[in-house]
């Protein structure tokens, strides 16, 4: 059985947490601005997959270990910073006015990977997971069914929220006259995301 009241409260709390702008939102907006909504959609799936892993990890008890050993996340975050800066360089040096065939082929994988890594190593993501997920389990009901329901709901909320940000960014990109301007904006946002990850690393030290 599922406690629908607890599930509804979780949905409200988690949606509010995801909606607040942060590195994930900045990355989602960047992807949509640079690649367009259709090619940016894999990024939403990357965010959703990371959300699912957060939930499963916490419910499996591994989240406590990660909370006690933040250096594990720091290693992943450094890798994420390097990868996102690589994307920023690629956007900044792309001087074409139209997307090339190579960009069309590679961008979906890059979009998914960058979104997944940024979200998976996000301190905010782990903090929200550790604080929220355990509190919305009714001890009088089945643990696995509740954990599965909360996890699926969290993934759906993540997909919908970041997808919504991507849709809004896709509409906003029409304000720019050409692709070069979009690439400059995308590069700047990538750098902001990388800076956000760097700050999280030094805060954890």
User: Are residues 157 and 15 in contact, defined by beta-carbon separation less than 8 angstroms?
Assistant: yes
User: Are residues 47 and 159 in contact, defined by beta-carbon separation less than 8 angstroms?
Assistant: yes
Q: What is the pLDDT of residues 67-112, one digit of tens each?
A: 666 666 566 667 667 766 776 777 677 655 554 444 445 568 888 9
Say how far apart CA 113 and CA 115 lie, in whole Å: 5
Say how far apart CA 49 and CA 118 lie, in whole Å: 12
Q: Tally Cβ neighbours within 10 Å of residue 105.
A: 9
Average pLDDT, integer, range 54-70 = 74
36 or 52, which is more confident: 52
Quote the tokens at residue 123. Answer: 């301190």
Which bin fits 61, alpha (ψ -120 to 50), beta or left (φ > 0)? left
Lowest model confidence (mean pLDDT) among 31-40, 41-50, 93-102, 129-138: 93-102
Say how far apart CA 176 and CA 160 lie, in whole Å: 26
User: Are residues 76 and 120 in contact, defined by beta-carbon separation less than 8 angstroms?
Assistant: yes
Q: Give the residue from 14, 198, 1 showing the smallest Cα distance to 88.
A: 198
In the DSSP assignment, the letter for residue 180 is H
Q: What is the pLDDT of residues 108-125, one digit of tens each?
A: 888 898 899 889 888 778
Q: Give the residue from 116, 90, 117 showing the smallest Cα distance to 35.
A: 90
Say how far apart CA 204 and CA 170 lie, in whole Å: 34
């Amino acid at each position: 059985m599922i406690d629908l009241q607890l599930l509804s409260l979780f949905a409200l709390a988690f949606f509010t947490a995801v909606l607040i702008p942060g590195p994930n939102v900045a990355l989602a907006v960047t992807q949509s601005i640079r690649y367009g909504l259709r090619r940016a959609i894999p990024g939403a799936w990357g965010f959703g997959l990371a959300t699912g892993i957060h939930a499963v990890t916490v419910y499996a008890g591994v989240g406590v270990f990660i909370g006690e050993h933040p250096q594990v996340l720091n290693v992943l975050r450094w890798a994420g910073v390097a990868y996102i800066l690589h994307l920023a360089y690629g956007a900044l040096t792309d001087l074409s006015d139209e997307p090339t065939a190579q960009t069309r082929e590679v961008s979906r994988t890059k979009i998914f990977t960058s979104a997944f890594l940024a979200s998976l190593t996000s301190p905010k993501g782990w903090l929200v997971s550790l604080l929220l997920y355990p509190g919305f389990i009714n001890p009088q009901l089945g643990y696995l069914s509740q954990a599965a329901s909360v996890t699926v709901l969290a993934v759906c909320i993540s997909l919908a929220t970041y997808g919504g940000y991507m849709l809004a960014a896709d509409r906003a990109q029409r304000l720019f006259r050409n692709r070069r301007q979009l690439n400059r904006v995308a590069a700047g946002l990538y750098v902001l995301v990388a800076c956000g990850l760097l700050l999280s690393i030094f805060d954890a030290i």
